[in-house]
């Protein structure tokens, strides 16, 4: 019983303490990231004297034709795998329905007939 009495105050103190520590750690990480980005920008501007500035994130958005083909191939492969998983899930759902003695209707069909 004595452990329950101090739970709420301990929980509140822990929450406040944790949020303060988390805020400090987050601020330190963000400041280090900003310093690194600033250093990269200085290096880029020194190396590109007189040329048009291009932000590092903007440069990464352009992909070569070969990379675009690789991305398309990967996307199609993932779509095929998702289709296979969906088919397997449907088969297992049907088998479990038969094992449990349920009818062979799918879950969607049963929910539609119950609503109407």
Condensed to tens digits (0 to 9), the pLDDT of residues 60-104 reads: 555 677 788 888 999 999 999 999 999 999 999 988 888 776 555
Which distant-in-sequence residues (6+ apart) come within 8 Å of 94 by Cβ?
Answer: 104, 106
d(CA 39, CA 77): 40
Residues 61 and 55: beta-carbon distance below 8 Å:
no
Q: Which of 72, 44, 70 is nearest to 59 (CA)?
A: 44
pTM higher than the cut 0.85: no
User: Which secondary structure element, helix H or strand E, spans residue 11, and what is its range?
Assistant: helix 7-47
Q: Which of 101, 94, 103, 86 is nearest to 113 (CA)?
A: 103
> Mean pLDDT for the chain?
76
C-alpha 101/C-alpha 116 separation (Å) is 23
Output the pLDDT for position 69: 86
Longest dimension (CA), the chain: 77
SS3 assignment, position 54: coil
């Amino acid at each position: 019983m004595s452990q329950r009495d101090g739970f709420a105050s301990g929980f509140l103190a822990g929450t406040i303490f944790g949020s303060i520590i988390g805020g400090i750690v987050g601020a330190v990480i963000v400041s280090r990231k900003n310093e690194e980005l600033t250093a990269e920008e200085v290096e880029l501007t020194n190396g590109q004297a007189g040329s048009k500035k291009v932000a590092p994130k903007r440069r990464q958005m352009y992909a070569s034709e070969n990379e675009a083909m690789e991305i398309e191939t990967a996307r199609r492969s993932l779509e095929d795998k998702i289709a296979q998983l969906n088919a397997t899930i449907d088969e297992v759902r049907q088998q479990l329905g038969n094992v449990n003695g349920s009818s062979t209707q799918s879950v969607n069909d049963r929910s539609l007939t119950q609503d109407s």
